[in-house]
Structures are given as structure tokens and as C-alpha cells.
Homo-oligomer: A and B are copies of this chain.
């Protein structure tokens, strides 16, 4: 059961990626140093640049993931929150990839662009399927509520929001989800 003094290349690569995700998620892009990431894994900083050419490339890889949003076509408006919120908690409380991106997008245009890309590629298609009209506006509004909730709960850690149970939170936002996707205004 002796730990091997030398890992396989994919194993160290994965370990570095995990450490990077964790650091980026808790500290933000700029305040993370490659030496810190290397130190977390117990490896020389040169290894980080060996496997991920540059810091930005490392971040790009760390901030890529699948939101796993379900198909909302045919879901009853009343059930939207019940379907979406479990994914919300899974994504934001899981590995810190998404938090990294959120933190970084606050101070980097490049990261902001990645966030928009992710929205366009995964969030918008899922939400648009449940919108009665004006899918872009409705999806964006709902997205802003989700983003704000994540920012307040997981970044700022606003005490009342941190203290709320998942069920209570889902109950609170359910009417909002319904309103943004199916409520007025329908006319111009």
C-alpha cells in the first residue's frame, strides 16, 4: 500500500486540473498562482506548464463542463423550479468549475465571453423550450435570477440565503421561474 513516488502522466494531469478547479473556484483567476496549484499537488510548478501550456489554457480547461440541463419541453410551468433547482444545486455545489468561471467573468472579458458562450450553448436552448414567446428575453431574465442567486449564496454568502434549505429556496423561486418563462407581458 505504499504510495507510488511517481504517478502516471494522466494522473498528475488530472490532479493538477482538480487543484486548479478548487483554487480558481475559491480565490478567483488573478489571485491564483501556478506555484500554488503545483504546491497543492506536491509537484514542481514546471509540471503545470508541461501539461497545460499556459495559465489561461489551464483555466480554460478547468472552466469547461456540462451543466446537464434536462429537456424542458412539455414540463408544466408549475414544475419548472422542481426540475431546474436540483441541477442548480448540483452544479454550484459540485466541483468548483462553474464558480471559477463566475468569479473570473467579473474581472476578465475573456472569461465573460466564455460565460456567454456557455449560456448560449446550454442554458438558452434548455430554457427556450419552455418559453411561450420571446425566448431570448425570457431565458436571459431567468438566467439573471439564477446567476444572482448563485452569486449571493455561494460567492457573497449572504447569511439568510446560506441558511435557507434547498426546498425553501425552490419554493421561493418557483413563481419567479414560472413568471419569466410563461407570464406577462405577452404583447408589445
Which residues of A line the B interface, CB within 8 A? 27-31, 102-108, 112, 115-116, 119, 136-137, 139-141, 143-149, 151-153, 155-161, 164, 168, 171-173, 175-176, 179-180, 183-185
Contact = CB atoms under 8 A, between A and B. Distances in A.
Contacts of A158: 116, 119, 140, 143-144
A24 B35 CA distance: 26
Nearest to A24: B107
A160 B140 contact: yes
Nearest to A28: B107
A132 to B, nearest CB: 14
A119 B116 CA distance: 27
A71 B28 CA distance: 37
A147 B104 CA distance: 16
14 contacts: A31-B107, A31-B108, A102-B106, A103-B106, A104-B107, A112-B156, A116-B157, A137-B161, A144-B148, A147-B151, A147-B152, A151-B151, A175-B183, A179-B179
Given A116-B158, A183-B175, A164 B137 contact: yes
A161 B185 contact: no
B144 A29 contact: no
Contact of A179 (B112, B168, B176): B176
A105 B155 contact: yes
